[in-house]
Amino acid sequence: MTEAFTLQCPVPLGAKDKVLLGHGSGGTLSADLIRNVFLPAFANPILARMDDQAVLKINGARLAFTTDSFVVKPLFFRGGDIGSLAVHGTVNDLAMGGAKPLYLSVAFILEEGLPLETLSRVVDSLSRAARAAGVEIVTGDTKVVERGSGDGLFINTTGIGVVPDHVRLSASSARPGDKILLSGSLGDHGIAILAEREGIQFDTEIQSDSAALHTLVESMLETSNAIRCLRDPTRGGLASSLNEIAAQSEVSMELDETAILIHEEVRGACEMLGLDPLYVANEGKLIAIVEPDAADAILNAMRRHPLGRESRIIGTVGGSASGSLAGLVTMRTPFGTTRIVSMLTGDQLPRIC
Amino acid sequence: MTEAFTLQCPVPLGAKDKVLLGHGSGGTLSADLIRNVFLPAFANPILARMDDQAVLKINGARLAFTTDSFVVKPLFFRGGDIGSLAVHGTVNDLAMGGAKPLYLSVAFILEEGLPLETLSRVVDSLSRAARAAGVEIVTGDTKVVERGSGDGLFINTTGIGVVPDHVRLSASSARPGDKILLSGSLGDHGIAILAEREGIQFDTEIQSDSAALHTLVESMLETSNAIRCLRDPTRGGLASSLNEIAAQSEVSMELDETAILIHEEVRGACEMLGLDPLYVANEGKLIAIVEPDAADAILNAMRRHPLGRESRIIGTVGGSASGSLAGLVTMRTPFGTTRIVSMLTGDQLPRIC
């Protein structure tokens, strides 16, 4: 996902500060980097909205514009590869702004020595994913770095879409009373990547959920204009995405743990590996914050779509714009207790996308 | 630059074929990669035009869209750094389509351990270059890879601009009789990078020519609507750019070596290093192919601009659309002989941009 973050005061950099893997996690270190380095330099009103896509007005059209680099390791995994992921990730960032995805650029950074056959497989997959999503790859670039200065191949995709006139989605739009919907199970992508990377075998095979969500979004927007905000919980997982929305909207959120679907194999793998599935990356799921009266209709529309069959209402927005709970995400456990769900700190799983 | 190339029949990949540094050179190996891997997978009418930017029609607006990754080594060099280069490169690709550059996305791939102070310097420079060029950075992304899986930092910038209605520039538009204009001296960027990388000292300091050329282009387009094609001779140098245009337009070109300006220090460095300045990368120069009657007026407009003061007419387009000379670029030497100027083969200077 394109970075989203909480605005706070910049902290001066120390001379010895270095980039850590966690700076790419989508969690608090990513937010620090943006706050301390990128935002002071690049600040402008469009960037400051900090949704997963910029919305630009050109000639009366509202264009969504978003960029993402992909460094996933390994290049091929159950349920996808870096090529299909590079399409899905950028298509989804456009879709989360309510945009119809239209065009992609694709830029490769190749490491000297990469088998051309590997590149060719990735390119074929990327091309198939683009065709399936109905987006055209219209411009590209290739750079090559010496052996040891890269890692096989990295891909950047940057996308353009058109946002319909009446659609206004933003992470700052959540209001107390809104319902929080999740389109399916958590953690499949992250655990599939980790299993592949570490050579872990499970009884049933966990597949990445990598998928293009724009047609799911389209059917949701057709059903109702009461959707406030959409986001795909990629790096940093559900927990980090909800924390970002809560902070930007200055609201609190209360989740119901029993409503959050996690496949048994994923839950087992997370327990074994000491991971919390709320923080594991997904690449084919979305969160919707919707007005309470429309929640059931939107939920039904989601369930009718193949990628939303397991959609559920997982929580409620609370707090108030000026309340002391602003930004706080909590979760009722099956035992009746409540725990705080904070943003990801550190890096659970590097190079997940 | 975004890739440009000659269309030929695909050659099947061998199982042992690997990515070579030359695949990123902008020369024949780059063209092979596009022809054999990218084009068969991605083919569509917009991509097939293979200019340095795609032109998309959205809501009646003509949008230019272009992407470039930057892997230059070292990160800082005389006359610029990877940050300013990342702005200039993409702004120039938009400008070569006659577009007014408006918006950039910026995506970083950082290597674990990179000093944050280095990142901060690059970001500051990028930001200053964007402000100077009048473009807004509206969306971004950051990924981090483990130590040894990257090389400090790589940047992708992707740009959007608007092409005025009456502007139709393309590498397929050159016609016999057209004049070939070059906006200044050759080789400064490539030799500045090489000097920095290899620790070579020159009597006078050679600086990169890295610059945003869109205001130069604007003044040229205001002067005349007889400009057929613009291109910035980056990777692969003047020779490769002209070969691409000659091939796409199915014309020949004859250059006058005495008209091609190469600063004395660059010429000396090239001789010492065994490089041909016609193949060395530039980051602040443009080639214009223009109708013969308008050549003088356009040349004068270029010379009045600070970035075009040393502009010259360097050659003439010849051949015919069906002639056997189509695609051939030749050069008259000061000795009265003529030599063939072919496309770059192999890789003169890796990681120049």
Tens of pLDDT, residue by residue over A94-109, are: 999 999 999 999 999 9
Specify the length of chain A in residues: 353
Which phi and psi (to 5°) does residue B123 adopt?
-65, -40
Cis (ω within 30 of 0) for the bond into B176?
no
Q: Is the pLDDT of residue A6 over 80?
A: no
**Res A319: pLDDT:** 76
The Cα of A304 is separated from the nearest Cα of chain B by a number of Å equal to: 31
Tens of pLDDT, residue by residue over B292-311, are: 999 999 999 999 999 999 99
Chain A partners within 8 Å of B63 (Cβ): 58, 63, 160
Mean pLDDT, to the nearest integer, of B243-264? 96
**Res A10: pLDDT:** 43
**Res B119: pLDDT:** 97
Q: Which of B310, B327, B45 is nearest to B181 (CA)?
A: B310
Chain A partners within 8 Å of B71 (Cβ): 109, 143, 145, 149
Complex ipTM, two decimals? 0.94
Contact state of B23 with A158 under an 8 Å Cβ cutoff: no
Chain A partners within 8 Å of B149 (Cβ): 71, 150-151
Mean pLDDT, to the nearest integer, of A154-176? 96
Mean pLDDT, to the nearest integer, of B177-205? 91
- CA torsion, ordered B110, B114, B118, B124, to nearest 10 deg: 20
Contact state of B66 with A139 under an 8 Å Cβ cutoff: yes
The Cα of A277 is separated from the nearest Cα of chain B by a number of Å equal to: 21
Q: Is the pLDDT of residue A84 over 70?
A: yes
> CA-based diameter of chain A, in Å?
57
Q: Helices B214-223 and B295-304 meet at what angle, rounded to 10?
A: 140
Tokens 């407009």 found at: B301
- CA torsion, ordered B18, B21, B24, B29, to nearest 10 deg: -60
Contact state of A19 with B105 under an 8 Å Cβ cutoff: no
The chain B residue lying nearest A59, using CA atoms, is B61
Chain A partners within 8 Å of B59 (Cβ): 58-61, 162
The Cα of A297 is separated from the nearest Cα of chain B by a number of Å equal to: 32
Chain A partners within 8 Å of B16 (Cβ): 115
Tens of pLDDT, residue by residue over A184-227, are: 999 999 999 998 988 887 777 899 999 999 999 999 999 999 99
Going by pLDDT thresholds of 50, 70 and 90, the confidence category of residue A3 is very low
For the sheet containing B252-256, what is the strand order?
A: B227-231, B287-290, B179-182, B312-318, B252-256, B329-332, B338-340
Cβ burial of A105 (10 Å; 0-12, 13-18, 19+) is: buried
Partner residue opposite A41 with nearest CB, options B30, B110, B123: B123
Tens of pLDDT, residue by residue over A9-63, are: 344 566 579 999 999 988 899 988 988 899 889 888 888 777 888 999 998 899 9
Q: Is the pLDDT of residue B2 over 80?
A: no
Going by pLDDT thresholds of 50, 70 and 90, the confidence category of residue A322 is low
**Res A347: pLDDT:** 73
Tens of pLDDT, residue by residue over A110-120, are: 999 999 999 99
Taking 3-state DSSP, the helix, strand and coil percentages for chain A, each rounded to the nearest 5, stand at 35, 25, 40
The Cα of A110 is separated from the nearest Cα of chain B by a number of Å equal to: 7
Interface test with A, best of B92, B142, B162 (most A CBs within 10 A): B142
Distance, CA of A157 to CA of A86 (rounded, Å)? 6
% of chain B beyond a pLDDT of 90: 78
Contact state of B69 with A141 under an 8 Å Cβ cutoff: yes
Lowest mean per-residue pLDDT among B125-139, B263-277, B339-353: B339-353
Interface test with B, best of A13, A82, A102, A139 (most B CBs within 10 A): A139
The Cα of A264 is separated from the nearest Cα of chain B by a number of Å equal to: 30
Partner residue opposite B350 with nearest CB, options A63, A124, A146: A146
Tens of pLDDT, residue by residue over A329-345, are: 999 999 999 999 999 88
% of chain A beyond a pLDDT of 70: 95
Element housing A5 (H / E):
none
Mean pLDDT, to the nearest integer, of A128-152? 96
